[in-house]
Chains A and B, each alone.
Chain A
């Protein structure tokens, strides 16, 4: 099939994006082809800039344009509280709740020997350095509630507990607005274990 070389290159690049197959790549490529020059320019510019300007915060390892990031330098936030998450995008999820007023620490993944991810691949040393600097009362583990996330919490517990810092993890339980009928047994039994007095 004949296709201009530049279009093929664009489609191939789009195809590398997660969730994009060949057909979607073609649709996107033709869409870009049809858009006004300046809009296409803006898209290209945005892609280049995001790679140039976004860096990792030297304190929390979250993504930022200025180091340290706005969250770490915000004086109104509680510096004694650190929420540990796996991925930079998790920070935004928790921020969206508007409930949490402490600091963050991004691990950049979870311990998974099968994927070759050990403590050295994560930012655990940086977290320990923050702990050793003092002033931290509590670390909240907000890793994913799967096997790897849980193992990571267990690993952190061994390192953090000797410092006498409170270590907590997010509750397992039923989704709000959900229906008991649709909960699987494991979630339901965890919810029973984690029940609360009223």
Chain B
């Protein structure tokens, strides 16, 4: 998929810009606070209808404007189709247009354009608690299988119902009914996570790490369902794979429900299930949560984003756009080289931001170059290089 044109109107620090991008993508430089990330955020928003740095859509509009608009022309070369997408943000509402017609079909809209992002905020995922890693993996599944949203919402809903029940009732038959429904939703969610971790692991070991040079080391995801924490590896491999029957896993859940019954009633909340899962990110044989350096964490997150991009290409048959926000800072020459090798080999349309020009980018000379400046509280872009890009404001 390619982002061919992008127009922003009153989005974050942008007042009115119109941009045209080449199929390689763009390299965006500028000072701190000039609006580089805002540009990537608008592209990410177009693909996911959510931001990578805020859950509050109100922040996305220009602070004094009644409405903000993101408009784009995207092309899917595999399907040989071009689409015009537009999102309008005004107080409390979000309206979508697809090819000039207003639509409420979010799924249809988001199927037209896919983007994966590296954002420094994502680094928190490596260092922080398991919630961030669950979020990362669930979001990854959604970009591969949009229908997963339903699985995840179903699970959250049944979990809320069961928790509410544990707080208000002591009827064991009533609880048993909701426990059964909870287990069904939990197994669906766990299997999706397990499949996703397996997919990323196979891409990391079979394609990505080999292509980039064997001296990177190993990187793998170790999905640890909380419910199977005490299981041996053999048990684990017998229970989780999707081709088998649900029965043994269900039994395991039921035994856990039985064991925790008193504690759950006392605490008034569900004490087992995938809401407590963790996904260990193992880099060079060690869990990166405790051992990876700042630079290594960056590399790890980049490799996970890259693996997801390859996964989307493999499973959905189209190439997502890569958004890399401030990717090269803190990286040594070798790790920067790894990233550029990936970008050159796979040639996804890539949008990179950095505070200054770096010589490494000379290799990526087909990227359009933009210099972002902040003047009179609005961001303007200057096209630095004579590549197929134009810019007006």
Contacts and interface: CB of A to CB of B under 8 A. Distances in A.
A, B: real partners: yes
B184 to A, nearest CB: 8
B174 A118 contact: yes
A173 to B, nearest CB: 16
Contacts of A154: 176-178, 180-181
Report which residue of A116, A118, A119, A185 has the largest number of chain B beta carbons within 10 angstroms of its beta carbon.
A185
The interface size bin for chain B is: 20 to 34
B173 A155 contact: yes
A186 interface: yes
B79 to A, nearest CB: 15
B160 A114 contact: yes
Nearest to A158: B173
A111 B147 CA distance: 26
B165 interface: yes
B181 A118 contact: no
B164 interface: yes
Contacts of B173: 119, 155, 158-159
A28 interface: no
A67 interface: no
Interface string B142-159: 000101001100100110
B363 interface: no
26 contacts: A111-B178, A112-B161, A113-B161, A113-B165, A113-B178, A114-B161, A114-B164, A118-B168, A118-B171, A118-B174, A119-B171, A147-B157, A147-B161, A147-B181, A148-B161, A150-B181, A151-B158, A151-B177, A151-B178, A151-B181, A152-B177, A154-B180, A154-B181, A185-B147, A185-B150, A186-B151
Contact of A184 (B150, B157, B161, B178): B150
Contacts of B158: 147, 151
Contact of A158 (B150, B164, B168, B177): B177
Interface in A142-164: 147-148, 150-152, 154-155, 158-159
Q: Which 9 pairs of residues, A with B, have the shortest CB-CB distance?
A: A185-B147, A155-B177, A113-B165, A113-B164, A154-B177, A151-B181, A114-B164, A154-B180, A151-B177
A186 B178 contact: no
B12 interface: no
Contact of A116 (B145, B162, B168, B174): B168
Nearest to B163: A113
Contacts of B165: 113, 118
Contacts of B218: none
Interface string A117-142: 01100000000000000000000000
Nearest to B151: A186
A152 B176 CA distance: 11
B169 interface: yes
Main secondary structure of the interface of B (DSSP, over half): helix
Nearest to B155: A147
Contacts of B177: 111, 151-152, 154-155, 158
Nearest to B168: A113
Contacts of A159: 173
Interface string B162-204: 1011001101011011101100000000000000000000000
Nearest to B167: A113
B150 A186 contact: yes
A186 B164 CA distance: 26
A119 B174 contact: yes
B120 to A, nearest CB: 34
Contacts of B150: 184-186
B22 to A, nearest CB: 34
A134 B147 CA distance: 45
